[in-house]
Amino acid sequence: MSSAPVRLALIGLGNMGMAHLQIFKSLEPQARISALADSHVPFAERAAAHLPAARVFHDPLECVNNADVEAMVVATADDTHHGIVAAGIARGLYVLCEKPLTTSADQSVQLVKAERATGRRLVQVGFMRRFDSDYQNIHRALHSGRVGEPVLISQHHRNPLSAIMFDDRQLISSSASHDIDVFRWLAGEDIKEVSAIAKTSQDESTVTVVLTLTARSGVLGVMELGRGPAMQYDIGCDIVGSHGALALASRADHSAADNVASQPKPDTWMERFHDAYRAQDTAWVQAVAARSNTGASAYDGYATNAVIDAALAALASGRGQSVRQETEGTLVCRNDLK
């Protein structure tokens, strides 16, 4: 492992980018933000005030191609991820990309193939729930065999209307990505089929989407996604197994024997997952210094996109849809690739 700081470019300097900036600043001297990029000049200038020594770019692709860095964090708008990540792979940079990897399975599989062609695993997708202590606890408990074979994994993901104005399609294309990744991570396998139904209140203030998933082995998943004025930010995950159950529960209930994890009642996802973001960013910097990678892979990002594409088709058609996805063995950069 190199003792020199990991030189980073931080691309995308909105709220999420600034959150990463504060985390990586606190990781000095392990990490050094050497370049900043955002096409929105006020955002770039705001970030530059925190890091006067960093080189500032107003074109993200110019930053990727010319900054003196070895790794980059992508926190730009979703529809820009494909081009920026592709440029990073072409230059051989390590990439931490906020979810989603891209906005379609076709774009994401292109990135997986480009990464594989380098012979190295370069891309990590920012599914930070994998680094949250509560989710890690429930993952460990499930995979220890404590509740036997998983049968049903149910999740809910609710947002206040003040935080998001998503319609039913946006709840699937954006909010659902974390929950889909958690289902795959907990089940340890890909999803073969998905269905979707939605309900919007007459005044359009409240939207709820319910997705049902079937994993390749038959494990069932149910996801409730919503936003509305009566909702607080709230997430939940329950697992029914052949010999018991697990729950991601509130801290008020932490002493209950059936609960293996806890969570506060925050106002926003950033408050709820602040420690998870910090753990993710710290682990990523350490992995880059060791010339390796951890966390959700480019293939994980592609697999999530494939499920989202199928869920959107299911919502439009009113019928369950098979997930069209190339297999991991064909595409993914294996862990032994350096």
pLDDT in tens, 202-241: 999 999 999 999 999 999 999 999 999 999 999 999 999 9
89-98, 179-188, 287-296, 302-311: range with lowest mean pLDDT: 287-296
- Calculate what percentage of the chain has a pLDDT beyond 70: 92
Say if residue 314's pLDDT is above 50. yes
Query: Taking CA 117 as the corner, what is the angle to CA 115 and CA 119, rounded to the nearest 5 degrees?
Result: 80
What global pTM score does this model have?
Answer: 0.92
Domain boundaries, the chain: 6-128+277-295, 133-267
Superfamily of domain 6-128+277-295: NAD(P)-binding Rossmann-like Domain (3.40.50.720)
Task: Please tell me the predicted confidence (pLDDT) of residue 164.
Answer: 84
For 124, phi then psi, to 5°, come to -125, 135
Helices and strands of the chain, counted as H and E runs: 12, 15
In this prediction, residue 257 has a pLDDT band, given cuts at 50, 70 and 90, of: very low
Please tell me the CATH code under which domain 133-267 is placed.
Answer: 3.30.360.10
pLDDT in tens, 18-62: 999 999 999 999 999 999 999 999 999 999 999 999 999 999 999
pLDDT in tens, 132-153: 999 999 999 999 999 999 999 9
Task: Please tell me the predicted confidence (pLDDT) of residue 265.
Answer: 57
Cross-strand bridge partners of residue 191: 215
The DSSP element (H or E) to which 157 belongs, if any, is strand 150-160
Say if residue 335's pLDDT is above 80. no
Q: To which residue do tokens 């680094």 refer?
A: 131
In this prediction, residue 332 has a pLDDT band, given cuts at 50, 70 and 90, of: low
Task: Please tell me the predicted confidence (pLDDT) of residue 143.
Answer: 96
Say if residue 252's pLDDT is above 60. no
For 151, phi then psi, to 5°, come to -115, -45
Cα 130–chain centre separation: 9
The span from the CA of 320 to the CA of 280, in Å, is: 34
In this prediction, residue 338 has a pLDDT band, given cuts at 50, 70 and 90, of: low
- Calculate what percentage of the chain has a pLDDT beyond 90: 86
In this prediction, residue 155 has a pLDDT band, given cuts at 50, 70 and 90, of: very high
3-state secondary structure at position 103: coil
- For the residues 281-292, what does the mean pLDDT come to? 95
Q: Which of 218, 180, 32 is nearest to 99 (CA)?
A: 180
295 φ/ψ sector (left φ>0, alpha ψ -120 to 50, else beta): left
